Amino acid sequence: MSDQIKTHQINSEKWFLELRNQMVGAIEKVDGSKFEENKWQRPGGGGGLMSILKGDIFEKVGVNISTVHGKFSEELRKSMPGTEKDSSFWASGISVVAHMKNPRIAAAHFNTRYITTSGNQWFGGGCDLTPAIPEEEETNNFHEGLKRTCDQHNLDFYKKFKKECDEYFYLKHRKEPRGIGGIFFDYMNNNFEKDLSFIRDIGQYFINFLISNVTRKKDLDYDENDLNLLLKKRSRYVEFNLLYDRGTLFGLKTNGNIDAILMSMPPNANWD
């Protein structure tokens, strides 16, 4: 492994930790509750930090970071670029999932990661919203902010990544989208410094939006019917994450921490 790649790994891992600390601090401040933290080690190499908060506004929010390394299984190796001669890998990332008590605030998801193999390196990730009760202002604010952030880096990013998100966060078995979309990208490998700058800005945008959106909507009234809509929508969230989510599948196939992998599950859901 070259010194340059090692530097890229250090810089990406450092950013994920920095963003994690920002997110934990901002969420604790607005909710008034504290995260419970759990460090874990991966038998094959590496580990991570899982942080879960169950509060007054956030019914359940997880902020996880991990850095793992080792060798891909033969099954997973076939789908990973740069593993033709060597199945070794290194991966670092952050994952955030927030489920709200108030059904009028959309569930929010964000993750970014940096993966290196013997023959390739890339960033991937994205963010999206899953409202039980869609609100035009919430949807517009989210997408307009994403577009502004993307446009600072490349005028083609938002349109391209929005399309990828709409196609990715889609429940094929139900023929319906998971939520109102966002952006999704993978195998980003243009220029490391420029790519990392984009990754940083998307992370900053997400936490700023999350806090402002929660602050705006946390005191809205809701009733029993709204709660039933929330539980039904959460069932769709569960189905997507268990059937299609790449991060879930990657974690399971690389012997990651099960609790950290499944922290995205809502505290309750309803299929009735």
Residue 3 to residue 198: CA distance in whole angstroms: 23
Choosing from 8, 69, 99, 109, the catalytic residue is 109
Residue 186 to residue 219: CA distance in whole angstroms: 37
Contact 64, 263 (CB under 8 A): yes
Q: DSSP letter at 10?
A: H
Evaluated on CA atoms 99, 101, 103, 104, the torsion sign reads: negative
Return the closest-CA partner of residue 241 out of 227, 252, 230, 255.
252
* φ, ψ for residue 47, nearest 5 deg: 175, -160
Question: Which residue type sits at 225?
Answer: N
Q: Where are the beta strands (DSSP E) in the chain?
A: 36-41, 46-53, 58-71, 88-100, 107-117, 121-130, 170-171, 176-177, 181-188
* φ, ψ for residue 108, nearest 5 deg: -125, 140
Task: Let me know if 109 is a catalytic residue.
Answer: yes
Q: How many CB atoms lie within 10 A of CB 11?
A: 13
Question: Catalytic site residues?
Answer: 109
